[in-house]
Amino acid sequence: MQVASWLPTPIFSIWNQIPRLVVTQAIPTLALSGAVFNTTSSVITSGAFSGSNPDETKAVEVNRRKIEAGYGLSRDFQAKIDTELPRRIFSESTVGANREALLCLKKGPRGLWGVCDDYEDFIKRLVEGERAKTSKVKVRVFFAAEDSMIGVKGREYMDCCWKEQDDLDFESRIIANTDHDSVLQSIEVLESVFREVASRS
């Protein structure tokens, strides 16, 4: 992500073509969004692709087995989805990724992020707006162990912004052996989210 921020703005008019080339020709099994930034940065800085992390590969397999055992979605079907998804996505237009990249990098006019342009101020305003309610706003954040989009500094910044507010019920967790794209697929995260929703309904 940091390497991408150094690139001149005009290159982002063709940004979507870089991951398309990588996903459809160079590495058909490449993951999406965060991995695209990560892999593209790796190509630019080293000229080579790094191999899969064995711990992450093992974690994905364990996750598939848990989903199969607990929810009946076969391991093989999950693997097919993971393989097919990038190909299907990049078979259609991905030109919107150019704008998304510029947005993520804040390469644009002031106020591009709206109320979140100043993230600390946004959280303070959110808390002030919710203060009159009887129960605290509950915020649960699941961070990937390795996140090429926000990195460790981004994780620490987010934690700091939310933890400073005493009027929030805030908790964050780092999910082992996950990256920017796989953290939401983690059965640990999904079960936690659905348990939370069920407890409030």
* pLDDT for residue 4 is more than 80: no
Q: What is the pLDDT of residues 144-184, one digit of tens each?
A: 999 988 899 999 999 999 998 888 899 999 999 999 888 99
Q: What is the pLDDT of residues 49-63, one digit of tens each?
A: 344 567 778 888 999
In order, the DSSP letters of 99-154 are HHHHHHTT-SSTTTTGGGSSHHHHHHHHHHHHTTSSSPEEEEEEEEEE-TTTHHHH
* pLDDT for residue 84 is more than 70: yes
pTM value > 0.85: no
